[in-house]
Amino acid sequence: DGSIRICADYKTTLNRALQHSAYPVPVVQHLLHSLGQGTIFAKLDLAQAYQQLPVDDETAEAQTIVTHRGAFKCKRLQFGVSIAPGLFQSIMERLLQDIPGVIPYFDDVIISASTKEELWGRLRAVLSRFQEAGLKLKKEK
């Protein structure tokens, strides 16, 4: 979308100290297969996915970005942190696990259904969960 996003290079600092995430990254073919008998689909895209997740003070301190303009303590999960993808995926799966036909894939959510009514019901359920969790979608998508 042309907006500026900061991505720190944590490979020689924070990422070395982190244990690698054992959370499995979904395989796209498995996700597509799990959409089952759906004939109607919707796709949602979360805005700046990782950065919607607040972190505790210790993590914020560890994610501090130092620039020529000073040090910036990051109070949200940052892009470039090695465990961020697995952590975000696990949170999304837990949040949406009991809504049928809903497949989270990092910052995207695919919703499948057999009828328009079923799709609208599932879409409303997902949007309700996102609202309860304080998660925001990209408006342009």
Please write the tens of the pLDDT for every residue from 24-78.
Answer: 878 888 888 877 778 999 999 999 899 999 999 999 999 999 889 999 999 999 9
Please give the structure tokens belonging to residue 88: 């975000």
- C-alpha 71/C-alpha 63 separation (Å) is 10
Lowest mean pLDDT among 75-79, 113-117, 129-133: 75-79
Closest CA to 109 of 51, 1, 95: 95
Write down the pTM of the prediction: 0.83
Residue 83 belongs to a domain: yes
The residue segments making up the domain with residue 66 are 26-133
Asked if residue 15 lies in contact with residue 82, where contact means CB atoms within 8 angstroms, the answer is: yes
Asked if residue 10 lies in contact with residue 77, where contact means CB atoms within 8 angstroms, the answer is: no
CATH number for the domain harbouring residue 45: 3.30.70.270
Closest CA to 104 of 38, 37, 28, 51: 28
Residue 75 belongs to a domain: yes
Residue 124 belongs to a domain: yes
* Number of domains the chain is built from: 1
Asked if residue 47 lies in contact with residue 72, where contact means CB atoms within 8 angstroms, the answer is: no
